[in-house]
Chains A and B, each alone.
Chain A
């Protein structure tokens, strides 16, 4: 087994809204290994971005982490002092945001922005930090970094901006890199380049990458392990090839079947009926019961726990009752 980069255990996030308190992330646990990619997969509103925000400490004031631990090298990010937390931000953990245009300051030259991590953590002079920033730009494949360092973010293309953002995130060689839908705003060819860049940097810096996405093809291509989230919980986890080959949770199955692999013109595309439950009225039992083709009586009363078998784990009564075979054949 490879080195553990980060271990999240039982992370729980509550949202205090005017309508009441809801649980957006409910007991999420996962482990990210150095040099490997873990994908957090799920549809909009399943809590995957909220998980990322909780890990990097960017939750909105209405959100509160009410339980769990986030462990990097024996330090729990949720209990360390604010000062220590700031020291860890960067060298231990960093994040790549989805929209690179809003994540870069529009009126600051990119060379100055990329130099910022060095100036803060390594107390470098402006000149030395700028040299590092130019080196960093070259490292992520930006042509002519010396002259481009004096450009502003709006003068770069979308793909180049994403490269800048990635460069800023890996500046201090973090142990863990969270990529929050890094390719969603890009077209497919650029998307492939960015994923290749992430893979290269992951190997070079021996980082644990946590890739947050709703794109199954990105997961299949880039991730080693996958954790499927639904309604704030992890419902299935395991090595990507095994999970995609033989999904045990009906939700994972539904997601995989929604991908039009060999659809013909005019044929109906498959989708999961219904939508995720409103966080204010999650029914007792399994949150997926209303959309599940395999729903049983027990699903309406008791919540399935994440049951581990080998490398994989699944939270489903039907899967636990009859094993993976039963689920695959039932649908």
Chain B
């Protein structure tokens, strides 16, 4: 089942950087996400004043020319602000909505879900019924209604989106944990007196985690799109703040003449979500000790094993 070589490799601490290099797509995705994260933190300073104070002479400037400095490489918007600068500023807003939403709903949903699935009984019933109630509203519609009633601020967008996303994690964590709690190794832990909290933390959580991370990256895309949709509808991020979704919305009237106003922010959304998905599938492999060999074994050797005749 296991060759000595695998055992030796896995016996040492897993080298995540090496495993990342072994998967070129995931490596590129990781770099893209790092760049996005960097821009989210420092974008406002990097972009400079052209992102907020327009030069009307440069209004609707076409992209892909450096005649007016690198800030105008992606063209200018209606007020002559640099589109690249606007995108960089918007990254911060978009990330400061999506990342907290995903983290909050992941932590709450996963803890409640694992707790409910482990104990079964009334705890499970209660948690699942509440999740069903939340899920029975279309989440975007619920956000629309709530944001119409309360003033749309970044905090309230985060709160409402987090609430609507909690059931996703809760149901995943509950299902896996309910299956795991009947496994023999959980029984074994019980036989030497491990309290339920420690069993959940030490035995259930490490197994549920890769699934939750995958769900979280997929959900990250969903949340980013939801925020974009809300901003598009005018009840999300409010000007003068700007997010990618809002930029798409603002550019829609000029789609025929100045296509880059909508398409480029849209492209930013697509590239980020695709990168997140690619990295998610890598994370799933890297965090599962039974699957990790797929990333540590060179591709060449794997192929040779599969078709030995061609090599000979």
Other-chain contact of B184, A94, A97, A107, A151 (Cβ < 8 Å)? A97
Residues of A in contact (CB 8 Å), total 38
Q: In the complex, which residues 3-21 of chain B have their Cβ closer than 8 Å to any Cβ of chain A?
A: 6-7, 10-13
Enumerate chain B residues within 8 angstroms of A169, measured Cβ to Cβ. Answer: 192
> A58 and B193: CB pair below 8 A?
no
> Which of A93, A104, A116, A151 meets B7, CB within 8 Å?
A151
A115: min CB distance to chain B, Å: 10
Q: Interface residue tally of chain B, by bracket?
A: 20 to 34
Q: Which residues of A contact B (CB under 8 A)?
A: 56-58, 85-90, 93-95, 97, 99, 102-108, 112, 116-117, 120-121, 147-148, 150-152, 154-155, 165, 168-169, 171-172
Pairwise interchain contact A168-B11, C-beta atoms closer than 8 A: no
Q: How far is the CA of A165 from the CA of B185 in the complex (A)?
A: 10
Contacting pair B11 A102 (CB below 8 A): no
Name the residue in B187, B191, B288 with the highest tally of chain A Cβ atoms < 10 Å from its Cβ: B191
Closest partner residue, chain B, to A105 (CB atom): B185
> Is residue B298 within 8 Å, beta carbon to beta carbon, of the partner chain?
no
> If the complex has contacts A107-B288, A152-B289, A154-B1, are A58 and B189 also in contact, measured as CB distance less than 8 A?
no
Q: Of B7, B183, B190, B195, which contacts A102 at CB under 8 A?
A: B183
Asked whether B2 lies within 8 Å of A89 as measured between CB atoms, the reply is no
Q: Tell whether, in the assembled complex, residue B192 and residue A117 are in contact, meaning their CB atoms are under 8 Å apart.
A: yes
Q: Which among B13, B193, B289, B290 is the interface contact of A90 at CB below 8 angstroms?
A: B193
- Min CB distance, B86 to chain A, in Å? 45
List the B residue with the shortest CB-CB distance to A117. Answer: B192
Do residues A120 and B10 form an inter-chain contact, with CB atoms below 8 A? no
Given contacts A102-B184, A150-B12, contact A88 B290 (CB under 8 A): no
- Of the stretches B141-149, B199-207, B266-274, the one at the interface is B199-207
Majority-rule SS of B interface residues: helix
**B194 interfacial by beta-carbon distance below 8 Å:** yes
Does residue B188 face the partner (Cβ distance < 8 Å to A)?
yes
Q: Is residue B198 contacting chain A, with contact meaning CB distance below 8 A?
A: yes
- Quick check: A155 and B202 within 8 Å, CB to CB? no
Report yes or no: B185 in contact with A89, Cβ–Cβ below 8 A.
no
For A118, the closest partner residue in chain B by CB is B192
Q: Contact between B10 and A155 (Cβ–Cβ < 8 Å)?
A: yes
A121, B7: Cβ atoms under 8 Å?
no
Q: Which residues of A contact B7 (CB under 8 A)?
A: 151, 155
Cross-chain contact B192 with A94 (CB below 8 angstroms): yes
Q: Which residues of B contact A93 (CB under 8 A)?
A: 191
Which listed residue, B11, B188, B193, B194, touches A88 by the CB 8 Å rule?
A: B193
> Closest 6 CB pairs between A and B?
A89-B193, A90-B192, A86-B193, A102-B184, A103-B184, A152-B289
Inside 8 A of A148's CB, which chain B residues have their CB?
Answer: 11
For residues 274 through 289 of chain B, which have their beta carbon under 8 Å from a beta carbon of chain A?
Answer: 288-289
Residue of A nearest to B289 (CB): A152
- 17 additional A-B pairs beyond A116-B194, A120-B195, beta carbons within 8 Å, are A85-B193, A87-B193, A89-B192, A90-B191, A97-B187, A102-B183, A103-B184, A103-B188, A105-B207, A106-B207, A106-B290, A108-B202, A116-B192, A121-B192, A150-B13, A168-B188, A169-B192
